[in-house]
Amino acid sequence: MRCGIDEAGLGPKVGSLFVVGVAVSGELRDVRDSKEVFRRSLRTYSRAEGVVLSALRGLGFRGDTVMDMWRWVFGRTSDLYEGLTLPVFSATVGNLPFKVHRLVAVEIPANHLRSHRFLKDASALADVALRLGCKRVISGLAGGVKYYGRFLPGWERFPEDGGVSYRKGEQEIRFVKGADVKWKEVALASIFAKYFREVHMLAVNRAVGLEGDIPPASGYPADPQTPELVRRLIKRGLLHLIR
C-alpha cells in the first residue's frame, strides 16, 4: 500500500486550503498531477470528479449532495454548499484500476490563513501523515518550510536532496519538493485536494452571483476575475472567505 499527501489552495487570495492524504493500492500508471488534470474546462473537471466520487463510493460514501460529502469527509458542512448536488461537474461514477483504502482530509478556512499560512500548511501535512497511519508516507513540501519537527515530536530528522525525512521506529514521513510529479500516490492526493478546492470555489462564486459550469473566478491573484470576486464578497459581508 502506498500513501501520499498533497495540498491545493495555498497561494490564492480567496477560499480555503485543502490538505489530503490517501492510502492506495493497485494500478496508478494513468494518474497525473492535478495541475495537468484540471484544465479549466467542464470536460476535464468531470473526468477528475469521476475519479474522486468513484473512490469515495468505494470507501462507503453514499450521499447525494455536496453538504453530505463535506460532512462525510471533513466532519462538518456549511450553508455555502446548500443546493449543490453530486456530481457537481457532470461526472460518471465507475470502476477504478486502483483502490483507496483510507482518506484523510483537512480544510483550513480562508480567514485562518491571514497569517502564518505556510506553518499552518506544514502542520496540516504532518497531521494528515500521522492520521493516515502508514508505515511510509510521501508528502509535498509546505512552501518555505524546512523543519517539521515541531509538528512531529519524537521523530528524528534526516535531510535529503529536495526535501527532508522524519523517522520514528519503522515509520517514515518524507516531505519532498515536486512530490506530485515523482510519486503517483501524491498525484492522486493532489487530485482529491484540488477537487475539494474547486467545489468550494464554485460555491464561493455562486454565493455572490458568479455562475458557471466551473468556478468563474479561481481566487488566485493572477486571475483577472479574482478582483471582481473579492469586491462582491466585501459588498456582501462575506469577509471570512477572503485571506
Give the domain CATH number at 116.
3.30.420.10
DSSP structural state of residue 15: S
Backbone angles phi, psi at 117, to 5 degrees: -65, -35
Each residue's pLDDT tens digit, 84-142: 999 999 999 999 999 999 999 999 999 999 999 999 999 999 999 999 999 999 999 99
Let me know how long the chain is.
Answer: 243
Q: Rounded to whole angstroms, what are the CA distances from 11 to 106, 130, 212?
A: 16, 25, 22
Look at residue 36 in the predicted model and tell me its pLDDT. 79
Look at residue 35 in the predicted model and tell me its pLDDT. 78
Q: Which domain holds residue 70?
A: 2-241
Could you count the other beta carbons within 10 Å of the beta carbon of residue 26?
13
Look up the pTM and report it: 0.97
* Coil, strand or helix at 102: strand
Are 185 and 3 contacting, i.e. CB atoms less than 8 angstroms apart? yes
**Sheet-wide strand order for 2-8:** 98-108, 17-26, 2-8, 136-140, 171-176, 163-168, 156-160
* Coil, strand or helix at 78: coil
Domain count, the chain: 1
Residue 5 CA to residue 243 CA, distance in Å, equals 24
Each residue's pLDDT tens digit, 152-190: 999 999 999 999 999 999 999 999 999 999 999 999 999
Each residue's pLDDT tens digit, 215-233: 999 999 999 999 999 999 9
